[in-house]
Amino acid sequence: MLQKRLPLAVASLAILILFTDGVVKAADEKPAGNGCKSLPNFSALKSALDAATATETSGLNNQMWATVVDRDGVVCAVAFTGVNRGAQWPGSRVISAQKANTANAFSLDSSSSNSGSGQPNGLALSTANLYSAVQPGGSLFGLQESNPVDTQVAYGGPSSNYGAPQDSMVGHKVGGINVFGGGLALYGVGKKIVGGVGVSGDTSCADHNIAWRVRNNLGLDHLSGVGGVSGDSTRPDNIVFDITPNPNGGTGISAGGFGHPTCPNTSGSTTLPPVQP
């Protein structure tokens, strides 16, 4: 008797899973259910990315991808600079989303401070700041294995929509962790964190610089006085180049613990626009 009932039970379970999955995705897609309505849309992101890419002179001079997520990690917009989606590294589309998700996920504002714990001034960590800390022996080793990408979100829908307003990632939580340059938290007026931006397509150092310019172009760099690890109060989450060779071989040693390797044709990070009050 049990054998006859099992298929019905399995079918019911499958229907329940599909229904639940649909409810979760639908909740993400509702404009009122996330913070995307107050963040840059596709047109604003593309304009900011085009201008930033044209301004930056370091790196390989490649075309770029960019993604914006809200504070909950919901993708708000995806854009690219080339004439079509193949004019920049296709793999960088999802990497840009990973970077946006990472910078947002591991940055804070002053609301984190309560009952003697938290960060009174907030703490902004760029993806570039995480490189050394996640290496073997680092204080955050293993972080890069957490929060995996949702591949259904990342690669769903027709490829022709990638980098367009209807990109399959838009309205969903793509997840992902990335630990080299190109991801920055977004801070609105009042130094309130509202999400993250990720840029990919060139060297990781050029990615960082372009992401920095994108954030500045969008006017979402209100983090003067926010805590950081760069040692530069006017650029608290800037990339840090303090890695020296390890005498025992292997990964180099970052003096401050948050360093990033240099890249071919590295330049300009110390002259990036200061953040706003």
Nearest by Cα to 178 from 98, 251, 238, 83: 98
Q: Residue 16: what pLDDT?
A: 44
Percentage of the residues of the chain whose pLDDT score is greater than 70:
88
Q: How many CA atoms lie within 13 A of 270 on its CB side?
A: 5
pTM: 0.88
Q: What's the token pair of residue 83?
A: 């004439």
Percentage of the residues of the chain whose pLDDT score is greater than 90:
84
Q: What's the token pair of residue 219?
A: 């006017």
Mean pLDDT in residue range 78-93: 98
User: CA 33 from chain center: how many Å?
Assistant: 20
Residues in CB range of 228: below 8 A, 6 or more apart: 123, 124, 125, 129, 235, 236, 237, 238
Q: Residue 267: what pLDDT?
A: 84
Residues 158-217 pLDDT 10s: 999 999 999 999 999 999 999 999 999 999 999 999 999 999 999 999 999 999 999 999
Output the furthest CA–CA distance in the chain (Å, rounded): 75
Q: Residue 11: what pLDDT?
A: 47
Q: Residue 209: what pLDDT?
A: 98
Distance CA 268, CA 57 (A): 8
Instruction: Output Rg (C-alpha) for the chain, integer angstroms.
Output: 20
User: What are the DSSP calls for the chain, one per residue?
Assistant: -HHHHHHHHHHHHHHHHHHHHHHHHHHHH-GGGSGGGGS--HHHHHHHHHHHHHH--STT----EEEEEETT-BEEEEEE-SSSTTSS-TTHHHHHHHHHHHHHHT-B-GGG-BTTBS-TT-B---GGGGTGGGSTTSTTTTGGGSS---HHHHH-S-GGGTTSTT-TTBTSB------SSSEEEEEETTTEEEEEEEEESS-HHHHHHHHHHHHHHHT-B--TT-B-SSS-TTSTT-----EE--TTSSS-EESSS------TT---GGGSPPPP-
Q: What's the token pair of residue 200?
A: 């990919």
Q: Residue 182: what pLDDT?
A: 98
Q: Residue 7: what pLDDT?
A: 52
User: Residue 76 above 70 pLDDT?
Assistant: yes
Q: Residue 24: what pLDDT?
A: 40
In order of 9, 157, 250, the CA distances from 149 in angstroms are 31, 16, 28
Residues 123-163 pLDDT 10s: 999 999 999 999 998 999 999 999 999 999 999 999 999 99
User: Residue 248 above 80 pLDDT?
Assistant: yes
Task: Mark 162-198 as b/e (b = at least 16 C-beta within 10 Å).
Answer: bbbeebbbbbbbbbbbbbbbbbbbbbbeebebbbbbb
Q: Residue 249: what pLDDT?
A: 84
Residues 4-31 pLDDT 10s: 444 544 444 444 444 445 444 433 444 4
